[in-house]
Amino acid sequence: MKHASSGMTAQAWRAAFVVSLPVLMGYTTMGAAFGILLNRIGYGPWWALFMCVTILSGSLQFAAVGMIAGSMSLAETAVMSLLINIRYSVYGIALIEAFRKCGLKRFYMIFALTDETYALQVQDERPEGVDRGTFMFLIGLLDHLYWIAGGVAGAFAGSMLTFNTRGIDFAMTALFLVILTEQCMEKRNRIPAVIGAGATLGAMLAFGSANMLMPAMLLIIGILLVLRRRLDAAETGAARETEAAL
């Protein structure tokens, strides 16, 4: 029994690693970009390691470079961090039930939830016999390790590179768009994506591009909470239709 359990764990590790390979390529590259930018304002590898371990939010870490360089106040930093990371509460709605079954691991899984990790977790491409909670936990852990490795490597390399770093922070946005596109092409229930796009467009028209983030996030969260049961039912129905077709 113990041998079987160990084999199952090894299978879960292999499955999570294979699924997370696109994030490995993206996070090591994007993490390196963050490390380079951090080094440019005078903070070395130890700071990069500390930030990558404790923050784990690519967009916030890129923004933090500007916050540090601009000597932003604590209150301004707190508000900006909330605006940037509030989208994770939307992701959490879709994973509440799955995380609830994961015991103490769920606390790290909540912390490790990023755009790309969420995309891989909801796709649920685990092989038969692998526990979903373990699979999701390992995806989050591996993605975190990729980001740490990239960030520290970038900070080391930053002191040796002399090219113009303008625009390098857009790399994280580009990675997210690639994974989002793939998810929208494969996911059976695309209603949440439509809700997100519609709410964002409406908030931008109502409040302007400079002030639309918070209203858009609040609107998305509200709509998803109201429609949660219907969306779950639609997803389940689509899954059954797919299985019947096969």
Q: Return d(Cα 81, Cα 61) in angstroms, integer.
A: 10
Structural contact between residues 110 and 85, judged by C-beta atoms closer than 8 angstroms: no
pLDDT in tens, 51-96: 999 988 877 888 788 788 777 778 778 877 887 787 787 777 778 8
Q: What's the mean per-residue pLDDT of the chain?
A: 79
Question: Looking at residue 176, what is its pLDDT?
Answer: 62
Quick one: pLDDT at residue 187? 56
pLDDT band at 6 (very low <50, low <70, confident <90, very high): very low
Amino acid code (one letter) for 192: P
Which phi and psi angles does 126 have, rounded to 5°?
-80, 150
Q: Say which residues have a Cβ less than 8 Å from residue 53's Cβ, sequence separation at least 6.
A: 148
The dihedrals phi and psi of 17, each to the nearest 5 degrees, come to: -65, -45
Task: Say how far apart CA 106 and CA 108 lie, in whole Å.
Answer: 5
pLDDT of residue 148: 96
pLDDT of residue 232: 65
State mean pLDDT over 24-31.
88
Give the position of tokens 């790399």.
Answer: 171
Q: Which of 40-49, 55-64, 185-194, 208-217 shows the lowest per-residue confidence on average (mean pLDDT)?
A: 185-194
Rg (CA), the chain: 19
Q: What is the pLDDT of residue 141?
A: 95
The per-residue DSSP string of 123-135 comes to: H--PPTT--HHHH
| pTM score above 0.85 | no
Q: Which of 21-30, 51-60, 139-148, 225-234 is predicted least confidently?
A: 225-234
* Higher per-residue pLDDT: 187 or 128: 128
